[in-house]
Amino acid sequence: MNSPCDDGKKCAPADFRRADPSGRLPRWTALCLVLLAASPALWSAGRTRHVFLLTTDGLRPEEVFTGADPALLNREHGGFKDDRAVARARETYWRDTPEERRAALMPFFWSVIARDGQVFGDAARGSTARVSNGKNFSYPGYNEMLVGWPDPGIMSNAEVPNRNVTVLEWLHAKPAFRGRVSAYSAWSVMRGIVNAERAGFPVMAGWRPLPFPPRNPREELLNALIADTTRAGHANEVWDSFVFHAAIEQFHVQRPRVMLGSFLETDYWGHQGRYDFLLDAARRFDDYVRRLWELVQSQPDYAGATTFVLTTDHGRGRAPVEWKAHGAAISGSENIWCAVLGPDTPARGVRTNVAPVTQAQVAATIAALLGEDYAAEHPRAAPPLAEVLAAPSASGPDAPPPR
Ligand SMILES: [Zn+2]
């Protein structure tokens, strides 16, 4: 969102500057800016103390907003092994309306996040969310999301250390976040994307053992399973379940203020052309989010003080053929979705007829939720999604119904 926020509750200084069309500032405003810049906590009026960025790789907005695609619920285009697999998927995911289908696919997303948070990317209702890197594949996408701008120098998914500093590393360098950041990803390349060596926070990535010597029997077991499981998929992609359970252990031990949980079976099964497993992976991701949300709400220091940001690194092509792929040449794979749920985000549900949002806005949004002004130090960074930071408007057209 590019519009300056207008309620003054959660604005970064940069937003105040943009709000003045003359380019000059009243003296009192300038004084305030000096004070605010000197003490970021002064303009951090929000309640968010912890942010979880949860991603599932290459999940199309088509599935998120309309559920199982009727063009793919068949053996010819959906890659189902046999008629029984088709019947199982239809029973699990097919419903008569798009609203029922999406709720069957992602029940937590549509019962809680879309009610209590905000969702962007429903193009049919005038809300677009896109990658702006032009590549529509993973390393450029995660870089854009975590750094805040697209880097045209990133041309491949090669596991090389990112020259850019992510918002995770930027936050971790601050005393208030030191030792309280971690990234748990199914993909080995995430170590490069967040530049784990330089960043200094723990990173789980692919089939490597956990980033610490096991600290409890559950982590010992997870390491044993990682070592002993047949790597039937890609060599650099561990199954999502390992990441989820490892992240839960990390949560209990580290008590992170910022955590990336990055899943990728939605992309893997898409490339395999197995639509039934892609749907299963999307539903499992939704359930991971639900369990994590319920876990943090059960902890006194996290309840009411934690925001979840959900998104994906790219979309995919359209049914009935190109859904298996994504990239610069695949039309539609630039389309993504984004959702935010937390104490500082007004419950406006699915956003309609709003300005387009980009993947690059995620980095500054994470920082702003935590009361930190990322864009001020990184002029190239896209601005935060102001509307997920603003206090609820009692009379605006988007005001949520009382509940
Ligand atoms: Zn992919």
- The number of domains in the chain is 1
Q: Measure the CA–CA gap between 237 and 185, rounded to whole angstroms.
A: 9
Domain CATH number, residue 349: 3.40.720.10
Q: How much is the mean pLDDT over the chain? A: 89
Residue 320 within any structural domain of the chain: yes
Q: Measure the CA–CA gap between 164 and 166, rounded to whole angstroms.
A: 6
Say which residue the tokens 């699915």 belong to: 350
State the pLDDT at residue 22. 36
Percent of the chain past pLDDT 70, that is, above it, reads 86
* Centre of ligand 1 from the C-alpha of residue 138, in Å: 7
* Centre of ligand 1 from the C-alpha of residue 281, in Å: 14
Residue 105 within any structural domain of the chain: yes
99-102: long-range contacts at Cβ-Cβ below 8 A with a sequence spacing of 24 or more? 100/67, 101/66, 101/67, 101/68, 102/63, 102/64, 102/65, 102/66, 102/67
- The CA–CA distances, whole Å, from 172 to 139, 185, 196, 256 equal 21, 18, 12, 11
Residue 32 within any structural domain of the chain: no
Q: CA nearest 148: which of 363, 372, 367, 313?
A: 363
Residue 239 within any structural domain of the chain: yes
* Centre of ligand 1 from the C-alpha of residue 267, in Å: 5
Contacting residues for 214 by C-beta, under 8 A, at least 6 apart:
220, 222, 223
State the pLDDT at residue 391. 56
Alpha helical stretches, state H, 190-303: 190-193, 196-199, 217-228, 240-254, 265-271, 275-297
* Centre of ligand 1 from the C-alpha of residue 323, in Å: 11
Confidence of residue 6 (pLDDT cuts 50, 70, 90): very low
Model confidence at 55: pLDDT above 50: yes
Residue 12 within any structural domain of the chain: no
* Centre of ligand 1 from the C-alpha of residue 4, in Å: 35
Residue 153 within any structural domain of the chain: yes
Residue 25 within any structural domain of the chain: no
Q: CA nearest 11: which of 393, 398, 312, 371?
A: 371
Chain segment 157-187, per-residue pLDDT in tens: 999 999 999 999 999 999 999 999 999 999 9
Chain segment 361-403, per-residue pLDDT in tens: 999 999 999 999 998 999 999 999 999 997 544 444 444 433 3
* Centre of ligand 1 from the C-alpha of residue 23, in Å: 44
Confidence of residue 233 (pLDDT cuts 50, 70, 90): confident
Distance of CA 110 to the CA centre of its chain: 16
Chain segment 272-326, per-residue pLDDT in tens: 999 999 999 999 999 999 999 999 999 999 999 999 999 999 999 999 999 999 9
Helix axes 98-105, 275-297, angle to 10 degrees: 70
270 and 323 Cβ atoms separated by less than 8 Å: yes
State the pLDDT at residue 8. 29
* Centre of ligand 1 from the C-alpha of residue 209, in Å: 23
State the pLDDT at residue 25. 41
* Centre of ligand 1 from the C-alpha of residue 324, in Å: 8
Ion ligand 1 neighbours, Cβ < 5 Å: 58, 267
Higher pLDDT residue, 158 or 38? 158
* Centre of ligand 1 from the C-alpha of residue 312, in Å: 11
Q: Measure the CA–CA gap between 205 and 188, rounded to whole angstroms.
A: 4
Confidence of residue 45 (pLDDT cuts 50, 70, 90): low
* Centre of ligand 1 from the C-alpha of residue 335, in Å: 14
DSSP reduced 3-state for 69: coil
Chain segment 331-360, per-residue pLDDT in tens: 999 999 999 999 999 999 999 999 999 999
Confidence of residue 7 (pLDDT cuts 50, 70, 90): very low
SS3 content of the chain, % helix, strand, coil (to 5): 40, 10, 50
* Centre of ligand 1 from the C-alpha of residue 198, in Å: 26
How many of the other CB atoms lie within 10 Å of CB of 125?
12
Residue 185 within any structural domain of the chain: yes
> Which range of residues forms the domain containing residue 377?
48-388
Mean pLDDT of 89-105: 98
Chain segment 194-207, per-residue pLDDT in tens: 999 999 999 999 99
Which pTM does this prediction carry?
0.87
Model confidence at 2: pLDDT above 80: no
* Centre of ligand 1 from the C-alpha of residue 316, in Å: 8
* Centre of ligand 1 from the C-alpha of residue 175, in Å: 36
* Centre of ligand 1 from the C-alpha of residue 84, in Å: 27
